[in-house]
Amino acid sequence: MDELTREFLIESQEGLDRMERCLTELEERPGDNELLAEIFRAVHTIKGTTGFLGYARLEKLAHAGENLLGLLRDGKMQAGQAVINGLLSLMDGLRAILRAIETEGQEAAGEDTDLIARLIQLEQSRELLELAETVSAIVAANASVSAKASTVSSFSGAYDYAQTEFPASLSSHPESNVPVGNQMDGEAPGNKDKPRPASTGASSTAESTLRVDITLLNRMMNLVGELVLTRNQILQATSNDANLTVLSRRLDMVTADLRENVMKARMQPVSHAFSKFPRLVRDLSQNLGRKVRLQMEGQETELDKSLLEAIKDPLTHAVRNSLDHGIEPPEIRIAQGKDPEGLLRLRAFQEGSHVMIEVSDDGAGVCVQKVRAKALERGLITKDHAAQMSDRELLQLVFLPGFSTAEQVTKVSGRGVGMDVVRTNVEKIGGKVELDSHAGRGTTLRLRIPLTLAIIPALIVVSRDQSFALPQGALSELVHVSPGQAATSIEWIESAALYRLRGNLLPLIFLDQILGKPALDGPVDHDRYIAVLDAEGRRFGLVVDGLADPEEIVVKPLSSVLKQIGFYSGATVLGSGNIALILDSAALAHKAGISQDSEEEQKKTHLADEVAEEIAAEFLLVETGGRKSAIPLKDVLRIERLPRKQIEYMGTRPVLNFEGNLLPVEDQAGLIDQALDPEMQITVVVCREGNRHVGLAVEHVLDVAAGSDLSEAGTELPAQGVTLLKERVTNVVDLSCVSDLEGIEAGQGWEVSQ
């Protein structure tokens, strides 16, 4: 393909992309002249250039479209639903021809008769409506009209291809062929006008931008990576020489700047991925009988081009899902008291080194019970599991392969591949995906995408003196295991190694073993580390011999022979000049047989962790009478240290004069009774219980820690339950069991009577 044609194709594609955007906007603002001019320009440019290049079919179609657009632009017509539909199919028609030219080098044979006829019909239909009223009056009033009409029809006969599809109403009013003449008038000024806007539009962008082949950018990125590496080595080599240090610092700065700019060159605004959604949403909602308003935010957020390409499919899946399963048909929405028009929101924003993309709708939401039932039916979880899972955990099940709650498979979605594909694609590029839904109120799908794929943060781990890179996306925490600990803290069920992490059993994979290294003789006598990884919902610990510093690594592809091994997603050159293989944690988990079942189990515990962390109640850890117990921190008002003598008795009940109020003090361990010296310091934790205050005498206040609730109920004294605190089961003090002052006040009489 010659340069000219290629340029033409690119330019036309861009023009059509603009047209697509404008068309969907036009639907909301039918009279917007700027939008119309923009669309006109796109079609006109195609028509103009094709004539020059000799693509007859393309020219013919573009010409038909241009006529219609000319009328619209000149305000002779209003862009209604039918017109926009017609223009969209015009666009699709143009695209199809362009695609054929791109792949085959020439237009495919055939005619666009139907489409052209439809466009011409549209040109006339508008005037038809108008004329239908006036003309019928004229027909009645003026018999000579019929004579005039016959000339017009013979004139219009030249447009024979248009005749066949004229609406029935047309034949009953032969006079209404008149608009054909009008259309010709309309076209003439259009022809004169158009070269001007087209040329100004083209020149302004041509001056400031330049098209660059993406492979060239990739190559540049590679070379920059190489430069970074060389710089690192030079920095090391010149650190002793003062003169060279200045130079190498400069090299350092320039390199960093260069790298940043090359990366920037690869960035594209998210709008490139979003731009097709107005059309998609429009078509789908018509198809499905929904009314949907699309709201897009943060379109200027930038993302690496390759990542942008990678999320297009997942986003489309998500949008389709929202329209098909999320937003209800208008009747149902009205019945539920919602706005008949549903809202679909696409939102992108940067968060640290990630870009978050949210697809949210205000539709029916996902019914958790249905998810549970379906998961049970498909055998994805067991009954016991289901009973233990929280709603949020159950929701994440929709990401499992083969899951769909749709009652029936529709054209749009429901085959149960959607969400699975979303997760797989997003995780492939190092991202994460999360679902949040409230029945009746809507669903939000969150995609968390790294800013760039080419350079990722990674932890360098060492196994048997060889370095490997572990992408930090999958890494959730690191655990150190000393040689002494190893024997006790790593537990075995036959040949399966497990580590007890905050009460949960974490399956372990030994990196050296899974990589086929022969087992070492004798016990391990060096420090080891467990990297706790989360990959595609599989949670496991990877045991390595050592850790090096985290590094920003430049990902280099591997040859297919090595890709086939499956454990490595690429390789990288470290600052030291050594090559490290990049481990694919999901593949490791898979190969090690972290099965579906235990995957779910791990996922469940993981989610439980997460949820617990989120709502984690914090506790004050205290020691009384040699036993540790926990007091919910939210109830603690203050901690008092005061001499024993300040505590008085009402009857047998110790009380404290606290800010002018009498405070009952619970002294379970008899600390106050045992304190003989009146000056001895007693620690009292003052707590709120309901609308009263109570004091607890304790020996020591140890710590504040986050606890997670345990379902086992404690049977010991005033403990309303137990909590898992610092990996130890701890009693929670039940403040309501502290008898209140009223009883004591009433007891005053009882004291007297004694």
Nearer to other proteins, 188 or 256 (CB): 256
**Rounded Cα–Cα distance for residues 468 and 475 (Å):** 14
Nearer to other proteins, 288 or 562 (CB): 562
What is the nearest approach in angstroms of other proteins to the Cβ of residue 577?
7
**Rounded Cα–Cα distance for residues 25 and 278 (Å):** 8
Nearer to other proteins, 227 or 376 (CB): 227
**Rounded Cα–Cα distance for residues 258 and 531 (Å):** 34
Nearer to other proteins, 235 or 611 (CB): 235
DSSP-based three-state secondary structure for 412: coil
Nearer to other proteins, 84 or 582 (CB): 582
Nearer to other proteins, 376 or 514 (CB): 514
Q: Point out which residues pair with 654 in neighbouring strands.
A: 649
Nearer to other proteins, 128 or 581 (CB): 581
Nearer to other proteins, 223 or 642 (CB): 223
Is the Cβ–Cβ distance between 323 and 277 less than 8 Å? no
Residue (of 147, 727, 143) closest to 479 by Cα position: 727
What is the nearest approach in angstroms of other proteins to the Cβ of residue 465?
10
Q: Point out which residues pair with 360 in neighbouring strands.
A: 345, 444
Tell me phi and psi for residue 492, to 5 degrees: -125, 135
In the block, tokens 């919910």 appear at 632
Please state the separation of Cα 67 from the chain's center in Å: 43
What is the nearest approach in angstroms of other proteins to the Cβ of residue 229?
8
Angle between the 178-193 and 113-141 helix axes, to the nearest 10 degrees? 120
In the block, tokens 């097709």 appear at 276
Question: What type of residue is 592?
Answer: A
**Rounded Cα–Cα distance for residues 458 and 450 (Å):** 13
Structure tokens at 679: 């000056």
Name every residue whose Cβ is closer than 8 Å to that of residue 244 and which is 6 or more positions away in sequence: 238
What is the nearest approach in angstroms of other proteins to the Cβ of residue 330?
54
What is the nearest approach in angstroms of other proteins to the Cβ of residue 315?
31
What is the nearest approach in angstroms of other proteins to the Cβ of residue 228?
10
Q: How far is CA 427 from CA 319, 420, 507, 594, 735, in A?
A: 18, 11, 21, 18, 47
Nearer to other proteins, 255 or 285 (CB): 255
Exposed, middle or buried by CB within 10 Å (0-12, 13-18, 19+), for 570? buried
Nearer to other proteins, 224 or 447 (CB): 224
What is the nearest approach in angstroms of other proteins to the Cβ of residue 222?
4
Nearer to other proteins, 577 or 678 (CB): 577
In the block, tokens 């995906």 appear at 433
What is the nearest approach in angstroms of other proteins to the Cβ of residue 560?
6
Nearer to other proteins, 410 or 466 (CB): 466
Structure tokens at 467: 């370095």
Residues that bind other proteins (CB under 8 A): 222-223, 225-226, 466, 515-517, 556-562, 565, 567-568, 571-573, 577-581
**Rounded Cα–Cα distance for residues 450 and 350 (Å):** 10
Nearer to other proteins, 400 or 580 (CB): 580
What is the nearest approach in angstroms of other proteins to the Cβ of residue 449?
25
Question: What type of residue is 566?
Answer: G
**Rounded Cα–Cα distance for residues 383 and 376 (Å):** 7
What is the nearest approach in angstroms of other proteins to the Cβ of residue 535?
18
What is the nearest approach in angstroms of other proteins to the Cβ of residue 564?
8
Is the Cβ–Cβ distance between 611 and 549 less than 8 Å? no
b/e map 5-28, b = 16+ CB within 10 Å: beebbebbeebbbbbbbbbbbbbe
Nearer to other proteins, 167 or 577 (CB): 577
Structure tokens at 396: 């994440």
What is the nearest approach in angstroms of other proteins to the Cβ of residue 265?
17
Nearer to other proteins, 561 or 713 (CB): 561
Kindly report the three-state secondary structure assignment for every residue of 645-687.
Answer: HHEEEECCEEEEEECCEEEEEECCCCHHHHCCCCCCEEEEEEE
What is the nearest approach in angstroms of other proteins to the Cβ of residue 521?
19
What is the nearest approach in angstroms of other proteins to the Cβ of residue 430?
19
Is the Cβ–Cβ distance between 279 and 266 less than 8 Å? no
What is the nearest approach in angstroms of other proteins to the Cβ of residue 508?
18
What's the Rg (C-alpha) of the chain?
A: 37
Cα torsion 22, 23, 28, 34: sign: positive
What is the nearest approach in angstroms of other proteins to the Cβ of residue 562?
6
**Rounded Cα–Cα distance for residues 718 and 700 (Å):** 18
**Rounded Cα–Cα distance for residues 95 and 101 (Å):** 10
Is the Cβ–Cβ distance between 150 and 156 less than 8 Å? no
**Rounded Cα–Cα distance for residues 410 and 291 (Å):** 18
Residue (of 393, 395, 396, 402) closest to 421 by Cα position: 402
What is the nearest approach in angstroms of other proteins to the Cβ of residue 435?
36
Strand 354-361 relative to strand 432-438, pairing:
unpaired
What is the nearest approach in angstroms of other proteins to the Cβ of residue 214?
17
Nearer to other proteins, 487 or 565 (CB): 565
Q: Is 189 left (phi over 0), alpha (psi -120 to 50) or beta?
A: alpha
**Rounded Cα–Cα distance for residues 471 and 588 (Å):** 13
Nearer to other proteins, 311 or 571 (CB): 571
Name every residue whose Cβ is closer than 8 Å to that of residue 121 and which is 6 or more positions away in sequence: 162, 165, 166, 167
Nearer to other proteins, 190 or 225 (CB): 225
